[in-house]
Structure 1
């Protein structure tokens, strides 16, 4: 008995020592001094035989007792984008880089209300494999299993977070990654060998790709006056949305659709940011120090993408993050080099609506939010998808469509569906628009995004009251 206790004590101390020396972040370069929450980063080996490891970053909740807060796994981006670094520095992480290479606190960081875990998946950015074929042939099914392996191994290393309420959130291609992992978790939880199931409580999806027609934005472009009536009419006649998407996913455009694509590109213009209709271009040289701090902390920053790229490519930053341990020579970017389009395109055709339906039928609440200035995944289509889900599951409207508030301002409009009063419990489905929001809502509309996230964690619809009315 004494030997067993001694063994457990030594094992625990060794585990703590390894974590402190290998994964705890003492301080990131340029980080503010008054930071009290824990930060960890490093690698979880998911397949030792293939030399495959996923990079992660963890930011503990800004709370006296972080274990009283839930744990949220962020899965944004996709098969050719960095999820961890974009989420932590560009969207809703605790810090944002500035032009001078320093970090400022993000007053709308999601770790104000939740422990946050970011992971580069499948093999993007800092994640890596020693097997060349791993970079060429990933599908959603394999990615979901890889993410589950990561999660279970991460919980073995960080066991104190194992019993927390668990949420999954993501945007863009996270519309595939998050629901697929959630479904796999529910299936895995039913395995009697797992005595401690993962306590999945809900998923949140921002401007998500949920089925192939999510990629169709021509009508949205016409509605905003970006393309002409002539080109819009020609597109509907010779290469309608369904035809164009099917040909795009096949990797080969017909002559007719190719001509339409060229016309659309010419009318849209090369300087248009398709992720944000109202975004201004970055003119960093004309921005003062005081403006830098304001942009980095209070509003959408047109130069933030550049500053994130400059910051994350610094060797001292990578060392502090315990990242790029393989000595990868490519400069870090928002997308990963070396990916062929075919690897990504075949996954876009997967319809995620059946997976979301199954999650709702398993009493898992779903929040779908959509920035109304996104030209990539139009809010009109996201709203249509939410309505289709509600009709398929015969959900009733629990809260009529109406404005929700971010403080004293209208943050957007929302509607909540459910099956109140019926025998079989179904998770609530909430659809919310974000007024002025872009493709990456937490970056363009950080305050509104945090308000939605808080309501999501509480299991309630977005707030419907204006404080000035009381």
Structure 2
């Protein structure tokens, strides 16, 4: 769940940024400093200014310009080592830009990878969190078609999600990754702006790729994408009902180790920490005294928004900070590990790889655009969005039989499985009583239990064994099977307490 700048929705997809803050209303400078440090702890390099610039001082190749409301993309031919394991003869890989509607000058960057199995497979979009972290982090370290080696070459990922789906990876909001604008007015501050941009992008994408219009469509992502995903799903549902444009065949949405209902998830920190022996019972009793103030502050955020939401973050974040102060440099994305040498993980290869001029040229990136793994500026712009409850729009989608999969690695602290399980169980919808009463079952991969699953109707929850914040990175085979079984309606528990496996 949440610490200010999560990267990685990888990171809350990823980060949820931490800060050792007091309960003041606006300690913005300490928060920014901590956000920078967290990104550096992942061996990334934040730059709040990059990707917003004056076009009059920037030269562009005319071939890379994007027409208003249209897609421009390049077909890619990467040199990838190994065999893709594909049944199609000519895999289509694209990178492109979409000139966002209702903006001054914003361009959204994306990758599109055709399924290695069949073009008729579902279209799946992946959103990394942060807010402000690039989806290329997931592409190259989690579930993309290939991974980056030490010598900056590419190798096929045996468990890439493109083995069962046509994958879209999007850099959003504007200012993230390779997405850019010449105007600060294009900065997004809430889920309305984010989801409208994504919806408009999808309309343009399907217009440019009509062969995929009738395919099933799924939204996936991690971490702070627990905010993006429900809002985006609701926006698609609204657009379909209002017949605003191309009908998008939305079948479901999946949230991995996400931050969705902060009011519930922050309160789960102490229980999770105690159950995993991260804190003592006396620590638990002391830190838990902060929970009532956190609960009240979160409620004020939910009714009034604006500065009350920042206040709620600072109040509730202290719960997380108190736990970290006791845990002796623990890796809060995977409590089995320490943040040795101030590097919980090393994601520097992606910045090196995408920073090469030859790669940027191949992708169609303007010369003066730098790759930004995680944008501190985008993160700060979304501060008032952090503590808002995004569960509120989900029941309507469930009633429309749009499937929801919530999964969480059991060793993640920051967006832990306990907090995610609690908000899923507390959600009010017509199937709530039956979901709560449903029995846990085993999720099997290769005959072994890879997780615990609970399901009723369109709602499924999975606690994934031996995984931290990034389930597709820690358990690639299990995550691929989870996705395929879920999309093909085979993930439901059987009578014997097992789950059908491939």
Question: TM-score normalised by the shorter chain: which range applies?
Answer: 0.7 to 0.9
Matched, 1:198 2:248: yes
- Retained in 2: the 8 A contact 1:312–1:332? no
Over 3 Å counting, the alpha-carbon distance change for 1:32 and 1:384 in structure 2 is: same
Tell me the matched-pair count. 412
- Measured after TM superposition, the shift of residue 443 of structure 1 is 1.0
Counterpart-to-counterpart distance in 2, 1:98 and 1:189: 42
Over 3 Å counting, the alpha-carbon distance change for 1:345 and 1:366 in structure 2 is: same
- Measured after TM superposition, the shift of residue 57 of structure 1 is 0.3
Matched, 1:227 2:288: no
> What is the aligned partner in structure 1 of residue 368 from structure 2?
327
> What is the aligned partner in structure 2 of residue 75 from structure 1?
127
1:201-350 equivalences in 2 (<5 Å): 201-213=251-263, 214-216=265-267, 217-237=269-289, 240=292, 242=294, 246=298, 250-251=309-310, 263-269=322-328, 271-279=329-337, 305-323=347-365, 325=366, 327-329=368-370, 332-333=372-373, 335-339=374-378, 341=380, 343-350=381-388
Mean Cα deviation higher: 153-162 or 113-122: 153-162
- Retained in 1: the 8 A contact 2:73–2:97? no
- Retained in 1: the 8 A contact 2:297–2:311? no
> What is the aligned partner in structure 2 of residue 184 from structure 1?
235
Mean Cα deviation higher: 212-221 or 346-355: 212-221
> Which of 143, 163, 181 pairs up with 2:194?
143
Over 3 Å counting, the alpha-carbon distance change for 1:282 and 1:126 in structure 2 is: farther
- Measured after TM superposition, the shift of residue 69 of structure 1 is 1.1
Structure whose alpha-carbon radius of gyration is higher: 1
User: Structure 1, residues 97-134: CA drift from partner, whole Å, max 9, x if none?
Assistant: 12121222111110100000111111111111111132
> Which of 424, 430, 449 pairs up with 2:479?
449
- Measured after TM superposition, the shift of residue 22 of structure 1 is 4.9
Over 3 Å counting, the alpha-carbon distance change for 1:77 and 1:129 in structure 2 is: same
- Retained in 2: the 8 A contact 1:395–1:417? no
User: Structure 1, residues 398-438: CA drift from partner, whole Å, max 9, x if none?
Assistant: 962121101122111001113xxxxxxxxx11111100111
Counterpart-to-counterpart distance in 2, 1:77 and 1:255: 20
Over 3 Å counting, the alpha-carbon distance change for 1:304 and 1:244 in structure 2 is: farther
> Which of 460, 483, 491 pairs up with 1:430?
460
Counterpart-to-counterpart distance in 2, 1:354 and 1:375: 24
> What is the aligned partner in structure 2 of residue 351 from structure 1?
389
- Measured after TM superposition, the shift of residue 231 of structure 1 is 2.6
- Measured after TM superposition, the shift of residue 180 of structure 1 is 1.2
Across the aligned residues of Structure 1 and Structure 2, the Cα RMSD in angstroms comes to 3.3
> What is the aligned partner in structure 1 of residue 170 from structure 2?
119
For structure 2, the 5+ residue unaligned runs are 1-69, 85-89, 302-306
TM-score (norm 2): 0.74
Counterpart-to-counterpart distance in 1, 2:198 and 2:316: 37
Mean Cα deviation higher: 160-169 or 42-51: 42-51
Counterpart-to-counterpart distance in 1, 2:421 and 2:233: 22
For structure 1, the 5+ residue unaligned runs are 1-18, 284-301, 419-427
Mean Cα deviation higher: 221-230 or 107-116: 221-230
> Which of 343, 361, 367 pairs up with 2:399?
361
- Measured after TM superposition, the shift of residue 313 of structure 1 is 2.6
Over 3 Å counting, the alpha-carbon distance change for 1:313 and 1:384 in structure 2 is: same
